[in-house]
Amino acid sequence: MAWSDPYVVGFLVMLISIVAKLESSKISGDALCLVQCRAWEEITATESDAMAEQLLILSADRNRDFELGCRNAAAFSAILFGTETLHEGIGVASLEQWPNGLEDDAAMTFTQREDVTLAWTQFFDAHVAA
């Protein structure tokens, strides 16, 4: 299943982390872990326990596919939010650009942007289809 693929795990968990940090720049530790698990369950309709264990293993093993997924999520978020995203998942310009969080109207325009659609196809769809 695609949800257990190291690349997909890295990509989605990093993207979840980036959005969580954009929404609340002070989020970290246990709160971030809880957000990652809940978001994973909502997105994939699967339990997060296996993902959390796999995340720790892939990170400790420095799995290349997992790390590529993380890097590509950062690159995708830079395209999506129009700012450089640091490895930790937050860019300073992002917070200035979205001072009140990610508004619903702004999120709607993301789906209408060709650059975002092309980046999603390159960074996510291509790996799920393979």
Looking at the chain, the whole-number percentage of residues with pLDDT higher than 90 is: 44
Distance, in Å, from the CA atom of 2 to the CA atom of 6, rounded to the nearest integer, reads: 9
Euclidean distance between CA atoms 94 and 80, whole angstroms: 10
Q: How is residue 83 annotated by DSSP?
A: S
Q: What is the pTM of this model?
A: 0.75
| pLDDT 10s digits, 68-98 | 999 999 999 988 887 655 444 444 333 344 4
- Kindly report the backbone phi and psi dihedral angles of residue 59, in degrees, each rounded to the nearest multiple of 5, phi listed first: -65, -45
Helix (H), strand (E) at residue 76: helix 64-81
Q: What are the tokens at 2?
A: 């695609």
Q: How confident is the model at residue 1 (pLDDT cuts 50, 70, 90)?
A: low
